[in-house]
Structure 1
Amino acid sequence: MKLKYLLPILFFISITTQVTSRPLAVQNFKYKKDLKITGNLSPNGIVKLMLDEDIYKHSFYGDLRITHNGEIVPYHIQNAEEISKNTEKVKPELLFSKKDDLEIYVLELPKLPEGMNYTKLSVSSAYDYETSITLKLGDNPDNFLDSKTVFLYKYGSQSSGEIDLGGTKHRFLRLEAEPGSDLKFPTALRAKQNKNLYYEKSHTVVNPILAEDHCQFLFPNESQSAFQILKLQFEEGNWERRVTVRGKIDKKEWDTVFEGTVSHNKSEGVYTEVPLSRTISSEFEIQIYDGENETLHLTNVVTVQPLEELYFFANVDGDKEGYSLYYGNPYQWPASFDSYSYPSGDELKNSEVKLGTLLPESENPDFSFSILYPPISGYLASGFFYLGVAALLFLLFSILRTKRSVLLESESK
């Protein structure tokens, strides 16, 4: 009897295990955008793809998947930057040099204009050489903070005569090289700082709903503009208040995306920035708790969404067709790819990057939730669990009923 009832239970458990261990299926994504890649794409070339507002409206961030002819393409996501192309050459001043067992050079770079960084240091020599150089950076010759080691050489007409300074503001450089290098430092390059890119939208501030200790501002966000940051402007210059920001989810429930104390000083500028815990693209509300203080007068609200880019390697054939971006699956686990499977920072700097453009959004024609993936697989797993529990209870009840019948028969004799 036990075997008779245990077999269905084991069957249910085996099905449940299979349900939750299947690979990704693109038919579980509600939306898709095809990609158009500009220019000639070399085999394993690098492609950059800027996310647009549709993605933030309908994706759940971790559900972004790029495919090429149905095969998943690994990618890396990062904040988009406006890369400055305006560079200036300056001449370093040699403050100190020593050429004994170890060659030591101390350089001073000119003062930086506002908004600029040092990016490169050129190195030359009248002789062929190869050497490891330890570079130290600092704000003054008494305190060098950052340090790294680079390898430079000159073999006839072949040379690597540049040191990457990494966009530093440090003006003093100390270089330690192997003896016999006899190095010169003719120029350094400086450039404007790269800027993170954003899109912003201003929202009309309506009269607040006043309560005993706080006021509430409602914003319908009819355009469903996605944002991760709120910029608030008040008539008052100096203040400190407890603020709560909530966004509408599933058109029914509210989700708290910020709760904490916010302060502002008029010397900091016009706006106060409030970072949110997640991206929202729906109706939202701001609650400002005044306590015993006078009510603040909110005059302007701006929602801010940092632009983001995806980088990935093209296929081995350099084929530009067949790329798509799928999204719109709240049950999808976040993307996780091996670091070598997508372009590294050095590869992005030293390789030609092709631009990918997202075509208009469309609903995935293959969309249909599979029984092997959430949410249906979750419902099935829960159903099988409760069926298993019911089967165990039925088995236990049958055993108890059998024992009770045996006891009653023995008592009647």
Structure 2
Amino acid sequence: MKIKSILPILFFISITTQVTSRPLAVQNFKYKKDIKISGNLSPNGTVKLMLDEDIYKHSFYGDLRIAYNGEIVPYHIQNAEEISKNTEKVKPELLFSKKDDLEIYVLELPKLPEGMNYTKLSVSSAYDYETSITLKLGDNPDQFIDTKTVFLYKYGNQTSGEIDLGGTKHRFLRLEAEPGSDLKFPTALRAKQSKNLYYEKSHSVPNPILAENDCQFLFPNETQSAFQILKLQFEEGNWERRITVRGKIDKKEWDTVFEGTVSHNKSDGPYTEIPLLKTINSEFEIRIYDGENETLHLTTVTSVQPLEEIYFFANGDGNKDGYSLYYGNPYQWPASFDSYSYPSSDEIKNNDVKSGSLLPESENPDFSFSILYPPISGYLASGFFYLGVVALLFLLFSILKTKRSVLAESESK
């Protein structure tokens, strides 16, 4: 084979290798936490990792990167849930069925106990089949609200005999299937509602700084507790006020993370929740504008941080060692991965998910900003820009000076 024909192939292989390996520039991240995975990890298995408070203190959220032996691992992040393992089986009641050009089934599920949802509906048939099913859910058989389409089949011993109900409270189901399916619905599953997980911290309410039409509360937050939600409680039960919340950035500037009119009714409970635009882990300020009204008396302030967890696929070897989480770069762009490169919601629910834990935080010994990445790249780009402007001005000045010399010589002759 001629060298000319080999070179393009080698060039293509080198490009392909770079694209698939995707090494992580670990020197751009100030902190790292090694990951310990429990149990036996199967090749390409699903791993769950709970974020801890250190992450919220030193991360800028979009800078989270998982690496396996220096290569980027795609991941999906979501709020953590306490998923109930206790399920109950119940028998649906068949209210109506019709098997003409379209098979139609209407089912009624038993009443739900408090705090439970319907999660699955089992489907069976005495024959092999494949069919698309339109599922409709409702609170009564006169009106169906939620609709979804699923594909079910039975090929001998291979079957997909369950429909995910998505944790609904609707008790009436209407199913429309293709003719010849002859479906049965032996059981439905119900379980307790999943709960989002949080960690909370109470803050001592300082004396207010009173102004003409507002009052200001300053919270030092010495422990740097991170939070995305504030829960406020006042002596007064019914009120409506404009409230602003600001957080300290880089120990110098204040950033407004909430501004708007908030109303509270005694029947809503003791607390008013205020969602913030971004996570705060430093000193913060609450300012309440009373206008012409009497000043409200703030009694309790609780900061709330929803727990979050990361899901990712393990390597193809099933090796548990070599995983690390990097963070601590305010200039890092947010992570963006193809949806097929990390576990889907169905894979999270159905697969044997292994738990990972974060080891103690350490400063990354390789940390140093690269000239190819911000902020160095930004400084260099600005420097080259101003250098170009200076060079252009110098060239312009030189041309004007030359023209003046020519004009002076011509005038002297």
- Per the normalisation by structure 2, the TM-score is 0.92
Distance 2:126 2:364 in 1: 63
Matched with 1:255 is 255
The 5-angstrom pairing of residues 4-403 of structure 1 reads: 25-403=25-403
Gaps of 5+ in 2: 1-21
User: What residue number does 1:12 align with?
Assistant: none
Q: Is the 8 A contact 2:24 2:70 kept in 1?
A: no
Residue 155 of structure 1 deviates from its aligned partner by 4.1
Task: Give the superposition deviation at 1:156.
Answer: 4.3
- CA distances 1:346-378 after superposition (whole Å, capped 9, x unpaired): 211221111111000000001111222111111
Q: Deviations over 1:302-322 (max 9, x none)?
A: 000011111111111111111
Aligned-pair CA distance for 1:177: 2.1
SS at match of 1:326: strand
1:255-307 residue CA offsets vs partner (Å, 9 max, x unmatched): 11001001100111110000000001000010000001010000000000011
SS where residue 261 of structure 2 aligns? strand
**Separation in 2 of the partners of 1:155 and 1:404?**
93
> How far does residue 24 in structure 1 lie from its aligned partner after superposition?
5.5
* Residue identity opposite 1:275 in structure 2: P
CA distance in 1, matches of 2:90, 2:242: 49
Fraction of identical pairs, as percent: 90
CA contact (8 A) 2:23 2:70 kept: no
Tell me how far 1:23 sits from its aligned partner: 8.5
| CA contact 2:227–2:280 (8 Å) conserved in 1 | yes
Greater shift in the superposed pair: 179-188 or 88-97: 179-188
Q: Check 1:347–1:220 CA distance in 2 against 1; reply closer, same or farther (3 A cut).
A: same
What is the alpha-carbon distance in structure 1 between the residues aligned to residue 73 and residue 358 of structure 2? 16
Q: Is residue 80–residue 197 contact of structure 2 (8 Å, CA) maintained in 1?
A: yes
Q: CA deviation at 1:157?
A: 4.2
Q: Distance in 2 between matches of 1:271 and 1:344?
A: 35
SS at match of 2:139: strand
Counterpart Cα distance in 2 of 1:132 and 1:388? 65
The one-letter amino acid of 1:216's match is Q
In 1, are the aligned partners of 2:235 and 2:299 still within 8 Å (CA)?
Answer: yes
Task: Using the TM superposition, give the Cα deviation of residue 389 of structure 1 relative to its aligned residue in structure 2, in angstroms.
Answer: 0.1
Distance 1:406 1:101 in 2: 97
Distance 1:401 1:128 in 2: 92
Q: In structure 2, what is the Cα distance between the partners aligned to 1:371 and 1:154?
A: 59
Is contact 2:63–2:334 with CA below 8 Å preserved after alignment? Answer: yes
TM-score, normalization by structure 1? 0.92
For 2:350 and 2:251, locate their aligned partners in 1 and report how far apart those are by CA, in whole Å. 46
- Mapped to 2, the partners of 1:375 and 1:23 lie a distance apart of 20
